[in-house]
Amino acid sequence: MEKAIVILDKLARNALRSQRKPHFCLPLARENHFKRFCSTSKSDSKEIRKMLSELPLFAGGEIVRGFGRGSKELGIPTANFPLEVVKSLPESLPTGAYYGWANVDNGPVYKMVLSVGWNPFYNNKEKSVETHMLHDFNCDLYGQLLKICIVGYLRPERSFDSLESLIAAIRKDIEQAKGFLDEADKAKLKDAPFFTEKLCSSK
């Protein structure tokens, strides 16, 4: 069964400040793992601001096959979460491009950019969460456990006139993410205990 966990987590942030390691032993492949925020409308700017103020958002799940466009068409490979993880994200989380930290199978933590949404350029039928880590793995990551920490929001999702425009926007996202993640308050999240904590299931 695919492993999935989503945490909107103040515990991790508080523990990071005090340099204590929080204990995560949470159900996998279940719902209600995080604090939800109800929103009457996804375009409600007040609710969006409220949701974004609750970042960082920690999430994890097994890497699955996506559309295969990241490497082939864009030259920007992505690791994709299963639909189960996508659907368990807070409903008030705006679609668009984000930045943060990520690791695979509790390995080194790297900078990343993240797409959450429908990819209007491709007219996707299902919402997706696609992570591009700023590291060349040179190997197949399918089936491995991806953990991410969503630190900040870059821009809303939108369609593009051409593939070249899409690639240029993603490249700009990557450069912005690099700069933001070098800021002290964001850089410290690279050492969040979540990235090394074992995720275990409970019944």
Q: How far is CA 158 from CA 21, 54, 97, 122, 165, in A?
A: 39, 24, 10, 11, 11
Q: Is 130 one of the catalytic residues? A: yes
Active-site residue, from 62, 84, 130, 197: 130
Q: Which residue has the tokens 């993640």?
A: 181
Distance CA 83, CA 68 (A): 16
Distance CA 190, CA 188 (A): 5
DSSP for 121-174, please give it: TTT-SS-EEEEEESS---S--TTSEEEEEEEEEEEE----SSHHHHHHHHHHHH
Catalytic residue ranges = 130
